[in-house]
């Protein structure tokens, strides 16, 4: 199946700094990528949908100025958590979907800890 990678897998940062998370589709072109956030013992909550070359669509309640999403190419999307705070600590997972395909392939996730 299709492979999606995320980098880094784990990051610890100080409060107030910014963190960038990369999501790459390794063997297919991802016209659409999704960013999810998962709290411990909970389900995935969609944060935003990004289509290559256009602005991301954010879910209600997600601050677009805090969670910057860029989908500059068909294989790469980035999520930047700006001015991170401890409450931003979470597990961030991206998924990618190619062309008109119906299946989403998920990355391994990034564990963010803000001190």
Partner 1 sequence: AQSVTQPDIHITVSEGASLELRCNYSYGATPYLFWYVQSPGQGLQLLLKYFSGDTLVQGIKGFEAEFKRSQSSFNLRKPSVHWSDAAEYFCAVGPNQAGTALIFGKGTTLSVSS
User: By the criterion CB under 8 A, which residues form the site for partner 1?
Assistant: 1, 4, 6, 31-32, 34, 41-44, 46, 49, 51, 91, 93, 95, 97, 99-109, 111
Max Cα–Cα distance, the chain, nearest Å: 41
CB-wise, 16 or 108, nearer to partner 1?
108
Q: State the nearest-atom distance from the C-beta of 103 to partner 1, in Å.
A: 6
Integer CA distances (angstroms), 19 to 30, 60, 85, 101, 115, in order? 23, 22, 11, 31, 13
CB-wise, 81 or 93, nearer to partner 1?
93
d(CA 5, CA 66): 23
CB-wise, 6 or 75, nearer to partner 1?
6
Q: State the nearest-atom distance from the C-beta of 83 to partner 1, in Å.
A: 26
d(CA 37, CA 93): 6
d(CA 16, CA 19): 10
Q: State the nearest-atom distance from the C-beta of 26 to partner 1, in Å.
A: 13
Q: State the nearest-atom distance from the C-beta of 16 to partner 1, in Å.
A: 26
């Amino acid at each position: 199946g299709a492979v999606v990678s995320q980098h880094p897998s784990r990051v610890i940062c100080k409060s107030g700094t910014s963190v960038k998370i990369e999501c790459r589709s390794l063997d297919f072109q991802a016209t659409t990528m999704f960013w999810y956030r998962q709290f411990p013992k909970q389900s995935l909550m969609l944060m935003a949908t990004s289509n290559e070359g256009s602005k991301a669509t954010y879910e209600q309640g997600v601050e677009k100025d805090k969670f910057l999403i860029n989908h500059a190419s068909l294989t790469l999307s980035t999520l930047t958590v700006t001015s991170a705070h401890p409450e931003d600590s979470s597990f961030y997972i991206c998924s990618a979907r190619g062309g008109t395909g119906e299946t989403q392939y998920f990355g391994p996730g990034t564990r963010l800890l803000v001190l």
